[in-house]
Amino acid sequence: MLAVEEKVLPCRVFRLGTMAYEEAFRLQLKLAEARGAGAIGDTLLILEHDPVITIGRSGKIQNILVPQEALRQKNIQVVFTDRGGDVTYHGPGQVVLYPILDLRPFRLSVPGYVYQLEEVVIRLLAHYGIAAGRVEKLRGVWVPQGKIAALGVHLSRWISRHGIALNVNTDLDAFRLIHPCGITDRPVTSMRQVLGRTLPMAEVESLMVRTFGEVFHCTLEEKSIEELEPFR
């Protein structure tokens, strides 16, 4: 799996609660710059977003299926961003994981990094008895009911931004407003839909952090969000 010669790497964790997408994007940019300069160590952001549709580098505006005015009435923003991929939705009830990592000590290729992110979610879901996996030529994590987690990353000089979004208690009706990731023939699902019950978000976040540490062979230390003030 991870080619790190039994070396455990430190990583800070920040739980940010609910945050607007653009604010989180600016924070990622500043943290990535600092990580590239060696001013900070590897950092993990875990949060939920206010309702937003994001369009990645290969996104097509026609994959948004309703007029802008209809989205405004639902208080859903539209934001162009620099992650890979097409169109997706973020909103309450979705756990979003943004690793700001220098991938060189991990000795990971870009496909290897993506594989590891997917593995974090696959292992997390297995904890709840949900059998999940990958679909050839399609990013993200899938269960028989559909796509349960979306993935999009950006790398610059081996510093990572963006990450993965897991539908926990997400309102799936929002995905009807788009062709998620440009896919028209496969549904989107959530942990709540699969299990038939609402899950505690804090519990899933904690398991996400713990599983990330296992997959990426990291020691994780949760930090106060006040430490991020210089980057906001």
Give me the active site residues, please: 181
DSSP result, 202-218: HHHHHHHHHHHHHHHTE
Calpha distance 56→40 (Å, rounded): 27
Calpha distance 133→148 (Å, rounded): 10
- Long-range contact list for 223-226, CB < 8 A, 24+ apart? 223/12, 223/13, 223/14, 225/14, 225/15, 225/16
Question: Are 191 and 197 a contacting pair, CB within 8 Å?
Answer: no
Calpha distance 158→37 (Å, rounded): 12
Calpha distance 71→62 (Å, rounded): 14
The pair of structure tokens assigned to 35 is 């990580």
Our CA angle for 92, 98, 103, nearest 5°, is 165
Calpha distance 123→50 (Å, rounded): 26
